[in-house]
Structure 1
Amino acid sequence: MTRDWYAWHHHYEDPTSSLSRRLVEVRQRIGAALDEAPPGPLRAVSLCAGQGRDLIPVLASHRRGREVRARLVELDPRNVELARAAAREAGLSSVEVVLGDAARTDAYAGLVPADLVLACGIFGNISDAHVRDLVRHCASLCATGGTVLWTRHRKPPDLVPVICEWFAAEGFEPVAVSTPAEDIGVGEHRFLGPPRPLPAGATMFEFTMGRQDTQPG
């Protein structure tokens, strides 16, 4: 059964939900990444961006928000319209919201390697093998010194320690990873290696039919 990713966003309206608490953490880490980024224009890409609730409000309020050229890729047209409206209302003319398959590498052509890559709500909804593939592709999406923010539940089987090993193998260093006790599953890694070419026409992952992550997005 296909999940309604538009209706799913209603969980954000409950401030006590794990999803809302995780959103707060992701926004804080986006802001910190912008604080630490080198001076000058910045690039950001968001995979499976939903309604843009993580990135757009931060860019709207952060002192460097107008320096960021961003592309949000989302498949649900209802979410796309809401994200576009949010960007317009915030006056973020450099934020582009694309209706398309976020798993396809072509969606990011011309904007990678990026200084900030958001892969939130994905790792808990794809197979372990596809998680590994997406981590590998993050080394093509991310600029040297850039940040990848990702999410994954910490319930058994807890894949987060293995994900961190996969990031390390691709040239990333950990910045922060939430503990199982925090129950919100947010990770941040910085890319230390040289950017790799992003293959054209490739599929980086596929969503599974069964739901694994109770806190996607």
Structure 2
Amino acid sequence: MDWHSWHRDYDVPGSSLARRLQVVQARLRLALDAAPPGPLTVVSLCAGEGRDLLEVLPTHPRRDDVRARLVELDPRSTAVATEAIRVAGLTNVEVVEGDAALTDRYQGLVPADIVLVCGVFGNISDEDIERTIGMCRRLTKTGGTVIWTRHREEPDLVPTICRWFEERQFDLVWLSDPDAGFGVGVHRFTGRPDPLVLGRSMFTFVRHQ
């Protein structure tokens, strides 16, 4: 899969990806607005070009409070994200080029206030989705927010994803309408985070939906 070319659909007005991005960004703004005062941490799994965060943070009032890490394997995408960070002067945002499935990539920045898992659940097995949701207990602090995406094509796994989150002490905050053409979910962690275990792989990309 040419992920760099895939990102071009974000620039097509009215496309499913463009509309989904707008929703994710709106929910991210709300999560930043609702976050407690003081320093904030954000991690993004399979961040791509970082548009979810990097098109929100530069103009957000909390920009200087945020320390963030974007993890992405594709080098062309990380180059775009790195340049966007430079232009915006986001000195507390870093890009890590590597496999976002590896727990080691998040050491030192989790549990985080906001965890972005966008563009992941449509490309991994159901078993890996559930494993990744379980790992979110290690990535998210108490009261922290997870924003995730998944297509609504059959079989529609979104209700099951919500159940998997709820079984792990994540309360549903918001879910996009079933007829939106995409799925975006927001969950808040109410439990106590488990320690991060290094050397684990959360998922393997197996297909592109």
Structure-1-length-normalised TM-score: 0.95
Equivalent pairs counted in the alignment come to 209
Q: How is 1:38-187 mapped onto 2 (pairs within 5 angstroms)?
A: 38-187=36-185
> CA offset at residue 57 of structure 1?
1.5
Partner SS state of residue 51, structure 2: coil
Alpha-carbon RMSD: 0.6
Deviations 1:89-116 (A, max 9, x none): 0110000001010000000000000000
Separation (CA, whole Å) in 1 of partners of 2:112 and 2:193? 10
Runs of 4+ aligned residues of structure 1 deviating over 6 Å after TM superposition are none
Partner SS state of residue 199, structure 1: coil
Partner SS state of residue 25, structure 1: helix
Structure 1, unaligned runs of 5 or more: none
- Native 8 Å contact 1:155 1:180 kept in 2: no
Deviations 1:51-73 (A, max 9, x none): 01110121101000111000000
* Structure 1 counterpart of 2:26: 28
Separation (CA, whole Å) in 2 of partners of 1:184 and 1:24? 12
Partner SS state of residue 55, structure 2: helix
Deviations 1:170-206 (A, max 9, x none): 1100000112111121000000001111111000000
Partner SS state of residue 130, structure 1: helix
Deviations 1:106-132 (A, max 9, x none): 000000000000000000100000000
Partner SS state of residue 175, structure 1: strand
Which of 35, 38, 55 is the matching residue for 1:37? 35
Separation (CA, whole Å) in 2 of partners of 1:184 and 1:127? 18
Separation (CA, whole Å) in 2 of partners of 1:98 and 1:185? 27
Partner SS state of residue 109, structure 2: coil
Partner SS state of residue 81, structure 1: helix
Partner SS state of residue 87, structure 1: helix
Partner SS state of residue 179, structure 2: helix
Structure-2-length-normalised TM-score: 0.99
Separation (CA, whole Å) in 1 of partners of 2:21 and 2:59? 16
Separation (CA, whole Å) in 2 of partners of 1:184 and 1:62? 26
Q: Percent identity, please.
A: 57
Separation (CA, whole Å) in 1 of partners of 2:169 and 2:178? 24
- Native 8 Å contact 1:115 1:143 kept in 2: yes
